[in-house]
Amino acid sequence: MLVDYPDIFTNLNEITNHPTIINTMSDHYERVKIELQQMKAVESEAAADKEQLSPASVTTVPAEVSFAARRDLSRSSINGRSRSKSRSKADGHERQVNGKQLSDLTPQKSDYSQEKGQSRLSNEQNIKGTLRLLKGKTAANSHVESCQREKDLKCEHHGKEDGSKVAKKRRAVTVDTSKAKTSLEALKMSIRQLKWKEFPMGRRTACDIYWHGVSFHDNENIVSGQVNKFPGMIEMLRKINLSRAVRTMQELFPEEYNFYPRSWILPEEYQLFSTQIRLLKDNDSTLKPTFIVKPDSGSQGDGIYLIRDPADLRVISGSQIKQAVVQEYIQKPLLIDKLKFDIRLYVLVRSLEPLEIYIAKEGLSRFCTEPYQEPSQKNLSHVFMHLTNYSLNVHSGNFVHSDSCSTGSKRTFSSVLYRIASKGVDIKKVWSDIIALVIKTVIALVPELKVYYQADIPPGKPGPTCFQILGFDILLMKNLKPVLLEVNANPSMRIEHEQEVSPGVYEYVPSPVDEEVKVGVIRDTLRLMDPAQRKHVTSNTEGGSPEDAIVVETGSDEKESLTDSLPSLCLKQVFPKYTKQFNYLRVVERIAAIFLRFLGVKGTMRLGPTGFRTFIRNCKLSNSSFSMASVDILYIDITRRWAGMLPDSREAGMSLQAFIEAFFYMAARRFKAVLLREQVLLLLEVCEGALEGQSHSHSHSEKPRPQRSHPTQSSAPNAFSSPALTRRHHLRHQPLQLSAKANTEN
């Protein structure tokens, strides 16, 4: 994999610098234009006109989706909730474009604007196409084009039209891009390279792929095909929920999950945070930790600030208590040219069941614009020194728009790796640590994602399948250990940036670095989701033992199964490839499977008291020392506590997180093993064994028994005073030295 990089850069330099190649490419694009027109002629124009939705017909509900519409109506409370909670965590430019600036883009007549059926929207998005073709040529794109050039030459030689032949052989994959928003430009380029068929205004009949800009719910009533968003991903990746999911894993596997800085959730852990920091400072007066406060609903660095003392927290906003995560600040990041930088890596979750994860071999490095100094009271407010967000640093006078991939304020990750490799760093080790971080993070997210998935797309009902590109933000510490900062559900896929071309005059210009990385990611995601690609991508599930190192390979095992005229995939499969190394971590997923079983398929995400009792009975967890009355008390206490922590949730009942808490509590109460994870594994065996026995004797659809004693709040003593729960609470807040130690190690 890594040895690919020199080739990429050699190609890039050759292609972009060589005048004859530039001319040839212009010629080539003329030929591609003609070829596209010929392909269009082959397709039935009448059919195309019928298929494209006119703006007026976009809202029409197609006849064949009426069932799903009914289903959605019947679950409107859940969908309504999900939608109302949905928030774009789009970084970079996503927000700008959702609003005014999309329409500000100057419509340019691109090489492709003559395509029949192309929408007004797509014309608006074709920005300075020719300029980009010449300036922003990427290695991968250049490769596609040079392959095409070779093909064209062959065709000319044989007097044939290769493009129309391809179109006749196989029905082009159809992509609905009507909701693509800011990823539209890169998406259009990808679809053109693949010779697939775009429906910029939507389509009356189903498309193979739906590309959404924000959430799963952007297009309603999709009953087939594939959608590029998972239900619930936006919610799961909010700062608080991500912290909770990782923290649950930290309780079970503290060593494995020490890549996430120590975090406290505000306002609920304000007291705990204050007390712990006071104790820490009392114990060692030389310690001067710094903390970063991140509003839960923020993105692009909005509302983030650094503090050195809990008293400096700005917890209250108006009369409302602000939800936020306060996190240990990594004080010794790796610096290049004295600047702090972070890494944006693109990760494709191709499927949840079975779990399939791909990582893009190329990413972006975003640099600060003020030389870094360790935090001091004086520099705490220097955002250009401490925050790497593009959206902030672009406003600094020092920001350098990159003309090449290895200079400026936004560079390719591979160029950074080159720099550090030249200093003798083992970059394969860095990569394998990053791969492990990504897999472990996705494993932490999967259980709850499955609950969202089942609520929106219950098994056995018609619905699409989902995949999603995520943006992982990673910081390298001085000791090269990668640290997870956050995961974006809607990473910016824009391939142009705003630039002041003359004083006060801003224009969108192509960004070669963004194009280099993002077009490859989108195109290769599409290739992997190609419905015709029946042959499953090779996966090496025969990997080594969990102790084996991750081997950073150089080849592309996916190559042969995909279209041969395209470059090898920039997305590398890491799961199930490394199943054996990471499968032991998937403990919470097993708890979620039990939760889902008792939840049923009614589109709900919360377990009622009857469902919880049925779970206890069916798993035979109640006995003389754990009566059904205690079960009811446990249910009420935990559910009430979580309702307080999730104030915006409209659904009553026990969430998965609350169920996990109850499960951990019961495991600790029942088994005397030393480690929580051992206790949990033992309880899982008990539950799974009992349920398996029942599956053999009767079907899954057993009805919950009528509730005999309905638990009431007034009758419930506080179960949190019990030793086991206090212990878990303690466990949850224990390893303060973990990241503080990491901070001093580097």
Binding residues for ligand ADP (CB under 6 A)? 261, 292, 294, 298-302, 304, 327, 329-330, 342, 387-389, 473, 475, 485-486
Q: 206 phi and psi, to 5 degrees?
A: -65, 145
Residue closer to ligand ADP (CB basis): 178 or 391: 391
How far apart CA 414 and CA 405 sit, in angstroms, is 9
Strand partners, 347: 359, 470
Instruction: Report the distance separating Cα 153 and Cα 500, nearest Å.
Output: 41
Question: CB of residue 327 vs ligand ADP: minimum separation in angstroms?
Answer: 5
How big, in percent rounded to 5, are the helix, strand and coil portions of the chain? 45, 15, 40
Taking the C-alpha atoms of residue 167 and residue 162, their distance in angstroms, rounded to an integer, is: 9
Residue 89 structure tokens:
């965590």
Min dist. Cβ of residue 303 to ligand ADP (A): 8
| Nearest to ligand ADP of 98, 465 (CB atom) | 98
Smaller CB separation from ligand ADP, 445 or 485: 485
Find the shortest distance in angstroms from Cβ 195 to ligand ADP: 37
Minimum distance, C-beta of residue 306 to ligand ADP, in the bound complex (Å): 9
Find where tokens 């010929």 sit: 38
Cα–Cα distance, 296 to 299 (Å, whole number): 9
DSSP state of 52: B
Please state the closest distance from residue 35 (CB atom) to ligand ADP, in A. 42
Nearer to ligand ADP, 177 or 327 (CB): 327
| Residue 136 or 491 with smaller CB distance to ligand ADP | 491
User: Which CB sits closer to ligand ADP, 133 or 416?
Assistant: 416
Q: Choose between 387 and 691: whose C-beta lies nearer to ligand ADP.
A: 387
Q: How far apart are CA 550 and CA 586, in angstroms?
A: 18
DSSP conformation class of 220: -
Pairing of strands 291-295, 335-336: unpaired
Of the pair 297, 630, the CB lying nearest ligand ADP is at 297
Helix axes 609-618, 676-697, angle to 10 degrees: 90
SS (H, E, C) 413-462: HHHHHHHHHCCCCCHHHHHHHHHHHHHHHHHHHHHHHHHHHHHHCCCCCC
Kindly state the smallest distance separating residue 262's Cβ from ligand ADP, in Å. Answer: 9
Q: How many CB atoms lie within 10 A of CB 3?
A: 9
Min dist CB 391 to ligand ADP, Å, is 8
User: For the CA atoms of the chain, what is the radius of gyration?
Assistant: 27
| 197-199, strands of its sheet edge to edge | 197-199, 174-179, 209-212, 226-227, 465-466
The closest alpha carbon to 515, from 138, 146, 180, 134, belongs to 138
Closest approach, Cβ 380 to ligand ADP, in A, equals: 12
Closest listed residue to residue 481, CA positions, set 745, 251, 239: 745
CA angle 265, 267, 270 (to 5 degrees): 80
